[in-house]
Structure 1
Amino acid sequence: MSILMICNGEETEIGRQLAGGACPYCGGKVHSVDVRRQWKFCFMPICFKFKRKYFCTYCSRRLVLYFS
């Protein structure tokens, strides 16, 4: 007997806006992107998570904030 589990994750961009500051690598502008992630199990939604990600517009790197 075997059990087949089907899990799927899907990301959707909700909004994009200009963030304050500059990229530490190239000095370009930084955009903040609001993302909704939806996890599905057998095509039924399980949970939603909302995150904010930061990207540079010139070098396209994903930036991570560290708080001290």
Structure 2
Amino acid sequence: MHLVYICIEEPKEVGRHVASGSCPYCEGKVEAVDVESKWTFCCLPISYVSTRKYFCTLCSRRLVLLNPCVS
């Protein structure tokens, strides 16, 4: 008897809005996208994770925020 693990991530876009700042590569506007991911195991929801991702509207690059080291 074999046990098969089926774990699937289903991302879903919740909302978009303009973020402050500009792209460091092309000086375009930055857009914030709220994404909700649902992890399922054999059709049963395990967890929901909400994240915010930042993209440039001109060059379509994904931007990452870096927290400065506080000493």
| Whole-angstrom distance in 2 between the partners of 1:32 and 1:54 | 5
Question: What is residue 39 of structure 1 aligned with on the other side?
Answer: 39
What TM-score does the superposition give when structure 2 sets the normalisation length? Answer: 0.93
Q: Report the Cα offset of residue 3 of structure 1.
A: 1.3
Identical-pair percentage: 54
> Corresponding residue for 1:57?
57
How many corresponding residue pairs? Answer: 68
Unaligned runs of 5+ in 2: none
Which position in structure 2 is the counterpart of 1:15? 15
RMSD of equivalent CA atoms: 0.6
Give the TM-score taking structure 1 as reference length: 0.96
